[in-house]
Structure 1
Amino acid sequence: MDGTIDREERHRLIDMITAAWKTKVIGEAVGLGLIEALAAGRHDSAAIAQSLGADEDGVMRLLRALAVLGLVTHEGSDRFSLTPLGDCLRKDAPDSLYGMSGHWNERMWNSFANLGVSVMSGEPSVPSGPDHFVQQQADPARADVFNRAMAEGSLRVGRALARAYDFSDVKTVRDVGGGYGALLVGLLEAHPHLRGEIFDLATLGDAALKWQDGQPVRDRIAYLGGSFFDAVPPGADLLLLKFILHDWNDARCRTILSNCRDAIGDGRILIIERIVPDRVGPGDEDVIRGDLIMLSVGGKERTEAEYRALLSATGLDMTGITQIDDRYAAIEARRVG
């Protein structure tokens, strides 16, 4: 091989190399309030800059970048308006990605900035661990960005799970480490016989229920405070663990699963994660990107065999895998015997 590639492939590689600028443009525009200002009816860069207390030239240049990305329309001179795609970045948009933009602009940005450190050391390279989660949830602003980012994805996953999995013999479903409990919304919408419980840190309770106030299933959702590293209370027919185990190393996962096993009795556990295929290729970007994020915080995405091993080590059987969509799977587990 002589190292040459055609023009189109070269530009595709350049797009990969420089993609970080898009994360920052979107994240900073949302964080500074540009999207909300446009949604409120301010369309010229000078008025937006004045309302935000920002530099007029800097705001103009950031708005032009958003126009290049198709998130705003440059109407001419210094006037701009939101496109339907850009409207999804509003905090209260029906299919909002507001939280995700902030999450990637800060926590995920820092994770990838330190990726090489974790590759060399095999250790977390950004703040992580149980104490870090407690500290993060104690900061209302940081907690809201993180929990909204998780909720935005969980709403879609929950609705897909409601279609893919049989809940007919379940009465109470508990979202363990559930944040705002967005995963429960789709399940309860689709299955009126279900009641839902969110189990997460006590400090998150008020914010979670405030977020749930806007949901049509609010009257069927309760909040339980606690840490899954200490214990999981009994009483639910089904425990959900969505994007929980991938945050932690094997030892931490065994603690979480053991506590869930002790709580579930004759019920079952659904572990909702991306499963790493035994052989990866270009179509596996989502799970491999996630795995590198988890590397920096001390967790990992796992193969089916690795999940089987974790469950076996904690007295649980893998009793089935339900594919929820093209990315996520629900791994069902029950107590051995």
Structure 2
Amino acid sequence: MRDNTREILDMAGLATPMALRVAVTLGLPDRLPGDGSPTDDPGNGSPADGLPAGALAADLGVDPVALELLLSHLVTLGIVERAPTGYRTTAFGANLRSDAGNGLVDRLHLGAAGGRAELAFVELAHSVTTGGAGYPHRYGRDFWADLDEHPGLRESFDRQMTHRFHEQVPRVVAGVDWSRFATVVDVGGGRGGLLAAILAAHPGVRGHLVELEATAAGARRTFHAHGLDERARVTAGSFFDPLPAGADAYLLVDILHNWDDEHAHLVLGRCAEAARPSGRVLVLEPVGGLRSESEFDLAMLVIFGGRERRLDEFRALAAPHGLVLDTVTELTDQRCLLEFRLAAG
């Protein structure tokens, strides 16, 4: 049997993922010159060929010896490079700058919702033992309560969700005959990017977005920016409370996998209640065995106590609410669209 010890240790090591997160949290790729960044210009006081670790440590208020150790590992990873007068950010490392436009800073920064949430993976043993989220075990409150307590976390989470879904919006809009529905309620629809795109592509459709007030304000701005004030409404509220009734479709995008079965039942129940007698409930998210990744599945568990449910689990979840799974469409490389109808009688 081949000795795979080194390979396994490399897979298990925490030094690299934490070094990247701390580098982003300290803003090192932004602060160091290199790769055409603004600090490349000697006229702004930063030498184009590198910034000394001591000066950087003084600027950040961190230990200079420890910072040098971090920078040395970042050199090994190709994030920064040594220069005659200190350190520079490489072209590869520039992907971790705040202006890179790839969403990585919100995913990795330890003060952002994404970076903070991933630290809950240290509680994975707790989640596997209990079946519950590791996040409250680490932080003393669940993820959503943490966002309520810290508005900055909610802001970063909203940005992360908008960026993560942005590339898939055109396929979601094009892959569904939204014109079938005169009215669409986007339940927990974030800042409204998807609903705005649906309405823009289908002038005969009207939309109504339900979201917590802190995020609903962003949705109002989105609809206004797209000239949709006449066709899009925003209601501040929770999807655990009664929803606007009588719409043709109730859309849940990446909602149910964020919750355990008890809470997922509450959300589906509110949708079914509002959709009666002839509305549809549309669930758009990864589906176990079709469009899901094992690593992301563990993230849903450890952060939220949720999971990427399989089709039989969706059917079981929907049945008590009189919902029948009608069609399943593998809509993108990451998500399926499940369309539920209300059972007759």
**TM-score category, normalised to shorter length:** 0.7 to 0.9
**Which of 11, 16, 38 is matched with 2:11 structurally?**
16
| Paired-residue identity, % | 31
* Aligned twin of 1:126: 135
- The answer to whether residue 226 in structure 2 is matched with residue 217 in structure 1 is yes
- The answer to whether residue 293 in structure 2 is matched with residue 287 in structure 1 is yes
**Which of 68, 76, 84 is matched with 1:68 structurally?**
76
Name the amino acid aligned to 1:35.
P
* Aligned twin of 1:136: 147
* Aligned twin of 1:315: 322
The runs of 5 or more residues in structure 1 that have no matched partner are 279-283
- Classify the secondary structure of the residue corresponding to 1:5: coil
* Aligned twin of 1:303: 310
> Within 5 Å, which residues of 2 pair with 1:1-337?
4-5=1-2, 10-18=5-13, 20-38=14-32, 39-41=37-39, 44-46=51-53, 47-75=55-83, 77-83=85-91, 85-102=92-109, 103-110=113-120, 112-127=121-136, 133-184=144-195, 187=198, 196-207=207-218, 209=220, 212=222, 217=226, 219=228, 222-234=233-245, 236-265=247-276, 266-277=278-289, 287-296=293-302, 297-337=304-344
Normalised TM-score (structure 1): 0.80
Question: 2: distance between equivalents of 1:274 and 1:66?
Answer: 34
Q: Deviations over 1:200-227 (max 9, x none)?
A: 21233335556x49x9637455532111
Name the amino acid aligned to 1:101.
L
Larger Rg: 2
The runs of 5 or more residues in structure 2 that have no matched partner are 40-45
Report the CA distance shift for 1:55/1:185 in structure 2 as closer, same or farther (over 3 A): farther
Normalised TM-score (structure 2): 0.78
Report the CA distance shift for 1:303/1:216 in structure 2 as closer, same or farther (over 3 A): same
Question: 1: distance between equivalents of 2:132 and 2:68?
Answer: 42
Deviation at 1:57, TM superposition (A): 4.1
Q: Deviations over 1:34-64 (max 9, x none)?
A: 2333455255244544443334444444344
Count of residue correspondences: 321
Deviation at 1:260, TM superposition (A): 0.8
Residues 114 and 160 of structure 2 are in contact (CA less than 8 Å); yes or no, is this contact kept in structure 1?
Answer: no
Question: 2: distance between equivalents of 1:106 and 1:326?
Answer: 27
Name the amino acid aligned to 2:148.
Q
Residues 98 and 149 of structure 1 are in contact (CA less than 8 Å); yes or no, is this contact kept in structure 2?
Answer: no
